[in-house]
């Protein structure tokens, strides 16, 4: 690797090839705090430098791992000593903003929050939002097809990308920097790189879609009498709020109760006595009209028996108080540690039975075990948190079997928004058919025949 | 081919392999009325039959052309006597509807309108809509990534597909029938088949996304003083209507005047004296609230000088009268015949200059020539209609040069929603980079190495 690194230094400059302690002190997993073990970290300044680096790597079959903000949850950033990490941390430019067409052109290393703020300066919004906004990068958001709390209204990252540029394994550059909403001139190549976790190419630049900014965001917490109430409410709000429904997050009682009355960590805006709680938001431009429409929708839901009670936040503090319950990951860690978290999706009508069976099976196996659930229910996405008293790998695998096992029959997914990475790789056949996995391998082979990009992520090496 | 056909008859049955007159009487191009020239038309009953047919074809390298509703505009359905046409006309079943999760599972040969109507029966909507709804099929909509008049609100066909199943060139079946909004378990393979015009696989089934049905559709025709008014109005309505803005269709004065005052074909709701006219729609669930919000938005646009005048349709008849102008393709054919039509996209800020230059260049070359423009402006999509007195192929190529030529520099596209097919294939390099075209070839080679599926469509054979 040494002579390769010397040639890479000649491209990116001495200060941009990190080795030794500069590598080890970098954390590649914010949950475990694990250190980077890559042979070196290379920080190109632009697409051209990266392309030249990749041509060198390709010539000598040097594998690489791409690093964005390192906020992933499936060990996608892990690298071994025989791999180089490619960090896009120097590629953070905003190249152009078109407020009329509604687009922003950026380098892939830029942080999500920086993009959100730049859009807001033009009275527009970038619609993707998630907790890691300050650290995660647009390139990482693209590579993982990030989700978050606004998917029900604006879709996932895939829907926010108009065009992109990627460097392939052999160092060739595919520039597909489309700026229009509509472009049917041949294959839509950007789709290959969105959500493929860096295994087919390294995203270097992107054209992002900007949306009109909604100035009125209204938040309510509601309690539902049963799961039919939850799904009935989802349909009711979809119909009555139309394009204004911005969030539909559901907490099972076990989740809500744990983080409010049981632990005392958060003040419950509603007592923890009903089986389901939903955070719903209505987005509009005229606040008075938005409040009127939202209040009427909640009132008719109450009359129809879809909800038992509701609190419409009257201040930013109240709004934050509601979200604090939903976002209190520390509360989960404190109470369920060692904590196993899961990100699954399944057809909404099957969710209640799935959750009940999960709780039962965990209780049977670990009488002291505990499971709580919240999720982006409107998107079919549940986050399952489990604590069974032990954090060892075999226990984790046992819990995984219970959580992932039923998904195959339900047509669910072992990953709604976090991706596969290394963590879920062995379970991929639960969610994808043999034909799908064969086609994934065909694509990987076609684009990266030497297997240099994010080795062993998503797909295991063929036996 | 004869012995192959006998073996295919054994799979699909005698009545489902059409030859001779039964082939010739079928029209593959609704605009020209051209006859089908395929060696035979094969009509499988289901995925399994099609897979078996394709395994036979693959074994003897028999090329095929897939037929949906045959409403395309780029000669995608053309077949030569040495090709078989595969028609999905018998595969029209609705297999399942999930009103809670919001999805419908169908076979690919079903007509768009049938899907729309089935969704409406569950008080839901299928959001794709376009003029050919009665004839075009879901499989064709997927293969061409169809657009239409609701893209600004709901996106193109790509956004309406949750999962699909496809038969590959070798007869293997890729079943990727995901039903959730979120599924990041590995590569999102459906994207390969959406918009690739049947060149990578034959779509046989799909899971479609259903949306809440909007019961209030309000339509206005407005006149803008200049192009800044048009783009200002687009931003203004995006902000003030938020998720309710359902349509933003613009007619240049030349288009509006021709089809109203000049030809007398349609009654002009507003005099034809301003440079731009827009049809805008606001979609809501509460009609009174929708009208109030829409009226207020138009009023403030008037005050801000973005529009000169506006008519808010007060009845279905008035609404239809407005749409009749926009949809009067016969009027274009009558007045510009022989008519050349084009479907392009480009960054919105560049549109006015592009249109002006086009009109000037056509006028210089053909003093009697005429060009009119309308389009889904909010999507960056213009439809250009040109009549220069001659319909011969060389004249068409001359006009194409003028229409497509400037798009390369502007980063525009030679096809916004119609696809490439055979018609635009030679111009693909104007809209796509060499790196992109090389990657398209890589994909085609990986999925269809014998080149059997929709031969020569999108990509020419390599020289």
**Do B173 and B273 lie in a common domain?**
no
For residue B338, is the peptide bond before it cis, meaning its omega torsion is within 30 degrees of 0? Answer: yes
Q: Are residues B199 and B234 in the same domain?
A: no
CA distance to A128, A216, A290, per residue, from A287 (Å): 22, 5, 5
Q: Is A300 on the interface with B (CB under 8 A)?
A: no
CA angle A183, A185, A186 (to 5 degrees): 120
CATH of the domain at B398: 3.30.70.2740
End position of a domain, from candidates B87, B106, B140: B87
Residue A440, domain member (yes or no): no
Instruction: Write down which residue in B268, B293, B326 finishes a domain.
Output: B326
Distance from the Cα of B345 to chain A's closest Cα (Å) equals 7
A50 pLDDT tier (thresholds 50, 70, 90)? very high
Read off the pLDDT of residues B41-63 as tens digits, 9 standing for 90 and up: 999 999 999 999 999 999 999 99
Cα A379 to chain centroid distance, Å, stands at: 13
* CB contact burial B281-301 (16+ within 10 A = b; e otherwise): bbbbbbeebbbebbeebbeeb
How big is the A-B interface in CB pairs under 8 Å? 301
Same domain for A111 and A199, yes or no, is yes
Q: Which residue of B has its CA nearest to A98?
A: B349
Here the CATH number for the domain that contains residue B315 is 3.30.70.2190
Task: Please report, for the domain that includes residue B101, its CATH number.
Answer: 3.30.465.10
Q: B-chain residues within 8 Å CB-CB of A97? A: none
Considering the domain architecture, whether residues A41 and A100 belong to the same structural domain is answered as: no
Residue of chain B nearest A240, judged by CA positions: B285
Please tell me whether residues B314 and B271 are part of one structural domain: yes
| CA neighbor of A425 nearest in space, from A448, A447, A444 | A444
Do A243 and A231 fall into the same domain?
Answer: yes
Structure token pair of residue A379 = 């998107």
Range of the domain at B66: 2-87
CA B135 to chain CA centroid, Å, is 13
Residues A204 and A239 in one domain: no
Residue B212 distance to chain A (closest CA, Å): 5
Q: Is A377 exposed, middle or buried (0-12, 13-18, 19+ CB in 10 A)?
A: buried
Residues in chain B closer than 8 A to A153 (CB atoms): 243
Task: Give the Cα separation of B278 and A294 in Å (integer).
Answer: 30
* B249 in the same domain as B288: yes
Sheet with B173-176: strands ordered across = B94-98, B103-107, B202-209, B161-167, B173-176
Q: Does B60 touch chain A (CB under 8 A)?
A: no
Chain B residues touching A156 at Cβ < 8 A: 181-182
- Do B204 and B311 lie in one domain? The reply is no
Q: Judge: A213–B349 Cβ closer than 8 Å, yes or no.
A: no
Residue B417 included in any domain? yes
| Domain limit, last residue, from B37, B64, B87 | B87
Q: What's the pLDDT at B243?
A: 83
When CB atoms are compared, the residue of A159, A181, A211 closest to B380 is A181
- Please tell me whether residues B117 and B208 are part of one structural domain: yes
Contact B212, A235 (CB under 8 A): yes
CATH number at residue B83: 3.30.43.10
- For B160-197, letters b (16+ CB in 10 Å) and e give bbbbbbbbbbbbbbbbbbbbbbbbbbbbbbbbbbbbbb
> How does residue A29 score in pLDDT terms, banded at 50, 70 and 90?
confident
In a domain, B455, yes or no: no
Tokens for B33, please give them.
Answer: 């009325």
Q: Look at residue B32 in the predicted model and tell me its pLDDT.
A: 79
Spell out which residues of chain A touch residue B438, defining contact as CB-CB under 8 Å: 172, 174
**Facing residue for B212 by CB, picked from A189, A194, A239:** A239
Question: What pLDDT shows up at residue A33?
Answer: 83
> Shortest CB distance from A442 goes to which of B159, B292, B446?
B446
Q: Which residue is it, tokens 């390298």?
A: B61
Q: Is residue B450 part of a domain?
A: no
A448 belongs to a structural domain: no
pLDDT digit string, tens, across residues A372-405: 999 999 899 999 999 999 999 999 999 999 999 9
**B134 and B61 together in one domain:** no
- Does any domain span residue B259? yes
CA dihedral sign, ordered B356, B360, B361, B363: positive
Can you give the pLDDT at residue A463?
Answer: 56
Q: What is the DSSP letter of B148?
A: B
CB contacts of A416 in chain B (<8 Å) are 180, 182-184
What integer pLDDT is reported at residue A131 of this predicted model?
87
Among residues A159, A157, A142, A156, the alpha carbon closest in space to that of A203 is found at A142
Q: What is the total count of domains within chain A?
A: 4
Instruction: Decide if A457 is inside a domain.
Output: no
Nearest CA in chain A to B122: A235
* Per-block mean pLDDT, blocks of 10 residues, chain B (463 long): 95 97 91 91 98 98 97 94 98 96 97 98 95 96 95 96 98 97 97 98 98 94 98 94 91 98 97 98 92 96 98 96 94 94 96 97 96 94 96 96 97 97 96 97 98 96 69
| Secondary structure class of A429 (helix, strand, coil) | helix
- Both A34 and A47 in a single domain? yes
Mean pLDDT of A430-456: 97
pLDDT digits (tens, 9 = 90+) for A236-270: 999 999 789 999 999 999 999 999 999 999 999 99
A 385-404: CB under 8 A from B? none
Q: A84-87 and A40-42 as β-strands: parallel, antiparallel, unpaired?
A: parallel
Q: Which helix (H) or strand (E) holds B107?
A: strand B103-107
Per-residue pLDDT reduced to its tens digit, A189-213 = 999 999 999 999 999 999 999 999 9
Is A415 a domain residue?
yes
Kindly determine whether residue B376 and residue A285, on different chains, have CB atoms separated by under 8 Å: no
């Amino acid at each position: 690797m040494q002579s390769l690194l010397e040639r890479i230094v000649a491209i990116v400059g001495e200060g941009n090839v990190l080795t030794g302690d500069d590598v080890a002190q970098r954390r590649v997993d914010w949950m475990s705090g694990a250190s980077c073990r890559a042979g070196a970290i290379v920080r190109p300044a632009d697409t051209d430098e990266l392309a030249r680096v990749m041509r060198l790597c390709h010539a000598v079959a040097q594998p690489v791992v791409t690093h964005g903000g390192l906020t992933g949850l499936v060990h996608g950033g892990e690298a071994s000593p025989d791999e180089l990490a490619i960090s896009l941390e120097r590629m953070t430019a905003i190249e152009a903003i078109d407020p009329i067409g509604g687009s922003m052109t950026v380098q892939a290393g830029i942080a999500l929050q920086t993009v959100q703020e730049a859009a807001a300066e033009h009275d527009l919004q970038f619609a993707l939002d998630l907790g890691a906004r300050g650290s995660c990068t647009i390139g990482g958001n693209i590579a993982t097809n990030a989700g978050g709390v606004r998917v029900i209204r604006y879709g996932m990252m895939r829907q926010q990308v108009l065009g992109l540029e990627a460097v392939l394994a052999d160092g060739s550059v595919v520039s597909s920097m489309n700026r229009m909403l509509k472009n049917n001139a041949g294959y839509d190549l950007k789709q290959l790189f969105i959500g493929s976790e860096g295994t087919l190419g390294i995203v270097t630049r992107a054209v992002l879609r900007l949306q009109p900014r909604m100035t009125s965001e209204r938040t309510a917490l509601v309690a539902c009498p049963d799961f039919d109430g939850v799904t009935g409410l989802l349909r009711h709000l979809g119909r009555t709020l139309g394009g204004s429904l911005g969030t539909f997050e559901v907490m099972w009682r076990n989740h809500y109760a744990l983080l409010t009355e049981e632990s005392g960590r958060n003040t419950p805006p509603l007592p923890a006595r009903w089986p389901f709680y939903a955070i719903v938001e209505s987005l509009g431009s005229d606040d008075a009209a938005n409040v009127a429409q939202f209040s009427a929708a909640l009132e008719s839901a109450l009359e129809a028996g879809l909800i038992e009670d509701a609190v419409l936040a009257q201040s930013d503090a109240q709004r934050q108080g509601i979200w604090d319950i939903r976002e209190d990951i520390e509360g989960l860690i404190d109470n369920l540690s060692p904590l196993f978290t899961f990100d699954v999706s399944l057809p909404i009508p099957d969710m209640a039975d799935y959750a009940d069976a999960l709780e039962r099976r965990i209780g049977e196996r670990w009488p002291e075990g505990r499971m709580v659930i919240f999720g982006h229910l409107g998107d079919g996405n549940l986050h399952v948190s489990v604590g069974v008293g032990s954090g060892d790998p075999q226990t984790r695998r046992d819990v995984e079997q219970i959580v992932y096992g039923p998904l195959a029959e339900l047509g669910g997914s072992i990953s709604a928004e976090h991706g596969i990475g290394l963590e879920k790789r062995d379970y991929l056949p639960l969610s994808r058919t043999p034909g799908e996995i064969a086609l994934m391998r065909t694509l990987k082979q076609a684009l990266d025949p030497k297997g240099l990009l994010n080795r062993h992520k998503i797909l295991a090496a063929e036996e």
